[in-house]
Structure 1
Amino acid sequence: MTTLSCGIDFGTSNSSIALANDGEISLVPVEQTHVTIPSAIFFQRADNKAFYGRTAVNLFFDRQQGRFMRSLKRVLGTPLMKHGTVVNGTTMNFSGIIASFLKKMKEKADAVAGQEIENVVMGRPVHFVDNSPESDAQAQAELREIALRIGFKTVEFQFEPIAAAFAHEAQLTGEKLAIVADLGGGTSDFTVIRLSRQSVRKTDRSSDILANTGVRVGGNDFDKDLSLAAIMPELGYRSRYGDKQLEVPLKPFHDLAEWSKVNFLYTPKLIMQTRQLLFQSHDKKRYKRLLSVLENETGHAVLAATEGAKIALTDQAEYATPFDFVETDFVIPIRRTLFETAIFGEVEKIVASATECLQNAGVRQQDIDLVILTGGSTEVPLIQAEFKRLFPNAAIADENKLSSVGLGLAYDSQSKFGRNSTRQIASV
């Protein structure tokens, strides 16, 4: 009988699923021919029908009527999982929303496999929630329940950076002491691990995995920092109002700069408050832009433009970011130097977590032979420069940035669920 299992990388920004079928590992096309899918859902206003991935993104930016949701992974382990949200007038819980997204991916994999897949290894960050073991355990339990809910019978977990290491290991010649830096949309995770091609089929890797660390900082935080530094001031952030020269409320701007909070801004109460403050504003031109965003529900478009600027600044020293959906001919020029200054504190946290991983593993920077960079945030020039500075003698591997975790989880599922597996591989 065929031994079949899969690995699912449910990411903050992008997701993937890979099959392990009698030793063959392959990514599943989850959206047309694409093997990754944006972790996004759009609920159509007319009937609450759900659309996923690129289709969801396109419907939203085509200004179709409905509710757009992203960064759902960041809700796991938080009180929002219990409170739920209102979608087009209907109360929905986040467990069901996430389940619908993952079920769509599973259906694609089942169709490719030609049968129902019962065994899965789910990827997880080293910390879903920083400094809270209880919330972290809760997040994993919630994700396990969702996986069972959509039809899996057996659910295991693996740290995402370990999975990325497994994906690269199959291509190695010789032995390497590696550090994996997995910088996604919501978290940055690190693993120090001994790799060799001969170890791919080992069922017990616990002696090879020397240390894991992680911090809840990722690309979404870079977006927020850039937004608050360059975009929000042009919408009236930190401007003044009234005779007493009071600072305008800051919370709406902070929420507008964060993917997981934008949907909660469009309330009659906040819009009315913003209209009232506009009359007393000392910077009516800019503050009126905030009102426009709230009234027209274009917060996600603001964030998308900010993310676009971040991506453009990977290759360009300066980028003119268009915001014509807020105001005609409205453009904000942004320099890479401003972006790097804005994210410097987050980068320090990332570097500190990587350094802690080395210390926990009992190895020195010069001992590392290979640095494996995975996740879209590793494209940021400042991040790349920091890792080259930290590990000047190591080779850098950064292929398959968005799909290596999914592939590695499938390799891990093969070890866990394969015919000869004793299921002793180090896992969560």
Structure 2
Amino acid sequence: MSTISCGIDFGTSNSSLAVADQQTVQLIAAENGNSTIPSAMFFLRKGNTAYYGREAMNLFLDKTPGRLMRSLKRVLGTSVMKQGTIVNGEHMKFDAIIASFLKKLKDQAELEAGQSIEYVTMGRPVHFVDNDPGADERAETELRAIGGLLGFKEISFQFEPIAAAFAHETTIGGEKLALVVDLGGGTSDFTVIRLSQNNIRKTDRTSDILGNTGVRIGGNDLDKDLSLAAVMPVLGYRSTYGEKNLEVPLKHYHDLSEWSKVNFLYNTKNIFQVKQLLFQSHDKKRYERLLKVLEQETGHALLAATEQTKIALTQLQEFETPFDFLEMGLSEKVSREKFNQAIEQRVSKISQTAMLCVAEAGVKAGDIDLVILTGGTTEVPVVQHEFAVLFPNAKVSGENKLSSVGLGLAYDSRNKFS
């Protein structure tokens, strides 16, 4: 039986995987024929049975009693990883939760391969945590330990933008100097790399990789900016209360704008605080909606509405965001211009980090032959425009935006383990 390895791209928003043997590298349908699976889990309130991906999201959107979890990757390397969380009244460790999700991917890969798989290359961002080497090292160590729990005997890691480059390398002609722009849900990572079909089987690509940079900004952060600009005002964000016209506390709104924090809001302390301020609120109608969200635990519906709006605005100039779960017929008109203004600082930071990568590589923007866009955030029009302006001489490739990292990781695993 030939040695088979796999590549797993455990993403903040979506995940993908591929398997490799000596002859072929193949992307695996992660869920019901789809090349990607949302990095989401749903635990039924009764029995705590776990569901994954689109099924998890559908159960949540159908208002099935239970707990939805997303953005699990963002807890790696942080203090929250050790603390764990309460799921339907039961304490659960995050390593067990993440292992359960990744086992779903491993099982799918083994089903397609027809045998067990003991070798894996796992993707990782350039920085799990910005400006904290200790936390960054902890995150990789935690992910390696989780891989061991799954039964992998050999585990290697590769930077996600480098993996995306490997996936594109099979299709290019000649040699290209490429900048990989990997904008995921949690991080933005960049690599300047020399690509050539002659290098596909090389096990050591150190000399071809000229620069790596990354920043902990991704699609979830753009969602948060959009939420605070266009969604949270529907719940009284930045409204005032009392005789001194004080601004209502903002922390509730900021936490409601992040998948990884929203579950921690549903407690009696927060509900009591909002009830107390509601009596003094100058915008009772809107502020009462915040109370309803906390009492009915519908924060994830707000996040889903924000995500729906972001996706719609990649195609439309204006979108009517529905809030029927709050009040029948309630909606808010949001323009792409408003979205662009909300994320302006984040996009600027992303482009600065990309240019830092080019500088680190010792080349100029005009030397880049190919810009490889990967990750769902590269669908945002203002982001695409930014990179077209930064690299006017480069060809832009955006094939397989959501699955190229998983495919490239499998190429890497073949070279390391075959």
Normalised TM-score (structure 2): 0.99
Give distance in 1, aligned partners of 2:23 and 2:54.
Answer: 31
Q: Helix, strand or coil for the counterpart of 2:193?
A: strand
Q: CA deviation at 1:21?
A: 1.7
**Residue number in structure 1 paired with 2:285:** 285
Give distance in 1, aligned partners of 2:172 and 2:34.
Answer: 26
Give distance in 1, aligned partners of 2:238 and 2:393.
Answer: 45
Task: Select between 40-49 and 198-207 the one with higher mean Cα deviation.
Answer: 198-207
Residues 182-234 of structure 1: CA deviation (Å, up to 9, x unaligned): 00000000000000111101121111000100000000000000001111112
Residues 226-283 of structure 1: CA deviation (Å, up to 9, x unaligned): 0011111121111111122221111000000111101111111111211121111010
**Residue number in structure 1 paired with 2:178:** 178
- Where in structure 1 do 4 or more consecutive aligned residues deviate above 6 Å? none
Give distance in 2, aligned partners of 1:23 and 1:193.
Answer: 25
Q: Helix, strand or coil for the counterpart of 1:8?
A: strand
Residues 369-392 of structure 1: CA deviation (Å, up to 9, x unaligned): 000000000000010000000110
**Residue number in structure 2 paired with 1:399:** 399
- The number of equivalent residue pairs is 418
**Residue number in structure 2 paired with 1:412:** 412
**Residue number in structure 2 paired with 1:132:** 132
What value does the CA root-mean-square deviation take over the aligned residues?
A: 0.7
**Residue number in structure 1 paired with 2:26:** 26
Q: CA deviation at 1:410?
A: 0.2
Q: Helix, strand or coil for the counterpart of 1:171?
A: coil
List aligned pairs for 1:17-416, cutoff 5 A. Answer: 17-416=17-416
Q: Helix, strand or coil for the counterpart of 1:280?
A: coil
Q: Helix, strand or coil for the counterpart of 1:362?
A: coil
Q: Helix, strand or coil for the counterpart of 2:46?
A: coil
Q: CA deviation at 1:112?
A: 1.2
Q: CA deviation at 1:27?
A: 1.3
CA contact (8 A) 1:236 1:290 kept: yes
Gaps of 5+ in 2: none
Gaps of 5+ in 1: 419-428
Q: CA deviation at 1:128?
A: 0.2
Normalised TM-score (structure 1): 0.97
Q: CA deviation at 1:22?
A: 2.0
Residues 314-349 of structure 1: CA deviation (Å, up to 9, x unaligned): 111111100111112111101111100100000011
Q: CA deviation at 1:23?
A: 2.3
Give distance in 2, aligned partners of 1:313 and 1:112.
Answer: 37
Q: Helix, strand or coil for the counterpart of 2:343?
A: helix
Give distance in 2, aligned partners of 1:213 and 1:84.
Answer: 30
Give distance in 2, aligned partners of 1:360 and 1:354.
Answer: 10
Q: Helix, strand or coil for the counterpart of 1:116?
A: coil
Identity of aligned residues (%): 66
CA contact (8 A) 1:23 1:414 kept: no
Equivalent residue letter for 2:415: S
Give distance in 2, aligned partners of 1:113 and 1:122.
Answer: 18
Q: CA deviation at 1:168?
A: 0.2
